[in-house]
Amino acid sequence: MDYSERLKKLPKQFFASLVEKVNKAIEEGRDIINLGQGNPDQPTPPHIVTALQAAANDPKTHKYSPFRGTLELKQAVSAFYNREYGVKIDPEREVAILFGAKSGLVELPMCLLNEGDLMLLPDPGYPDYLSGTVLANVEYATFPLLAENHYLPDYEAIPFHQKEAAKLLYLNYPNNPTGATANRKFFIETVQFAKSHNITIMHDFAYGAIGFDGQRPVSFLEVEGAKEIGVEMYTLSKTYNMAGWRVGFAVGNATIIESLNLLQDHLYVSLFPAIQKAAVAALTGAQQSVADLVNCYESRRNAFIEACHNIGWRVDAPKGSFFAWLPVPAGYTSQTFTDLLLEKADVAVASGNGFGAYGEGYIRVGLLMDEVRLVEAVKRIGKLGVF
């Protein structure tokens, strides 16, 4: 037997080679500080775990869930968006429950595009966006996110023929990998752009809770007209440290939501009902754990950036997410600097070119361990004498 041509075309999993290199170094007995991945390091808040335990003990949760998720969870999503962003969401028509936001990101091109259609993706951007283009057998083009434009797309610079041909465009703020954020003005421009060219917008709001310096990240759906042309995808992985729980949702345009639900009718019988109960507890319960988590990440960011400045590394502090996007020193590419850090400093980072052509010249660092280890990583880098 042989794999289908579709599977053969799937991009190589970007983090697989990094994990392999790090594991090999650890097996050699080296003390590796791994800043290369994006796996939250804090535990899920206790009240959410308790809700899961109670629900798992209830025989009613041992049966199949409704295909499109429980109404209770969709109502919790609606209440969450109204409370946090002042956005009214119809729980029955404007919510799709996802097996983590990644599934929705990969599914959406299959829902909305036909073979050969064009979609637009950010560069640098989340590598798994590309998986959806292959599985849907569609074309894609990228638009650059540049430091001089605060890592926001310049819609005017997108070639006219691409704007006219494209049917779907992905955005992600707070941004992975750059840590940039977007404001209401940008999203107003996005709605105008989308309407002018009949393009559907998907905003990946995975890091929606994580903004620094007193700035709360803006939801795309807060802007008038956003629901007419797009959806937003949210995950509980980052906000509530529920990465392994695999629960997220899409909200927004009812037609797009129905397309996701229709596809998922043929793929799943929704999430384990006890996890849905726990997700309700996360979204509707006390939110102090979220505030504490953001403060933790901001404190780590400050300590890390200060340490970088202390060794002469000229870097900018991220405005959101739990990533830092750092320029490599002169004389190195993203990959050669990444290899140097692992080989000579026992520090693992993600090479910027893995996020796209415009990621060349940068590395991505995850602020996902305590400040002592983050500062130690920078000190090790400083000893290399490259700054």
Q: Summarize pLDDT for 123-144 with one digit per residue, the tens.
A: 999 999 999 999 999 999 999 9
Examine the pLDDT at 386 and tell me if it is beyond 80: yes
Percent of the chain with pLDDT over 90: 96
pLDDT averaged over every residue in the chain: 96
CB atoms within 10 A of CB 63: 8
What pLDDT, on a 0 to 100 scale, did the predictor assign at position 16? 80
According to the model, what pLDDT value does residue 67 have? Answer: 92
Q: What is the pLDDT of residues 274-321, one digit of tens each?
A: 999 999 999 999 999 999 999 999 999 999 999 999 999 999 999 999
Task: Give the closest residue to 207 by CA, choosing from 55, 101, 278.
Answer: 101
Inter-residue contact 346 to 33 (CB < 8 Å): yes
In this predicted structure, what is the pLDDT of residue 15? 78
Looking only at the bridges linking them, the beta strands covering 166-172 and 118-123 are parallel
pTM score of the predicted model: 0.96
pLDDT of residue 356: 96
Bridge partner residues of 185 (DSSP)? none
Residue 13 pLDDT exceeds 80: no
What is the model's pLDDT at position 353? 95
What is the reported pLDDT for 269? 87
pLDDT at 24: 92
Please give the average per-residue pLDDT across 94-110, as a whole number: 97
Q: How confident is the model at residue 12 (pLDDT cuts 50, 70, 90)?
A: confident
Domains of the chain: 5-44+288-382 (3.90.1150.10), 46-284 (3.40.640.10)
* pLDDT tens readout for residues 42-75: 999 999 999 999 999 999 999 999 999 999 999 9
Given a cut of 80, whether residue 14 has pLDDT beyond it is no
Q: What is the spatial distance between Cα 37 and Cα 176, in angstroms, rounded to a whole number?
A: 11
CA distances from 20 to 26, 191, 332 (A): 10, 42, 22
| pLDDT per residue as tens digits for the range 82-99 | 999 999 999 999 999 999
Burial 46-55 (b: 16+ CB within 10 A, else e): eebeebbeeb
The DSSP-derived string for 317-351 is PPSBSSEEEEEPPTT--HHHHHHHHHHHH-EE-EE
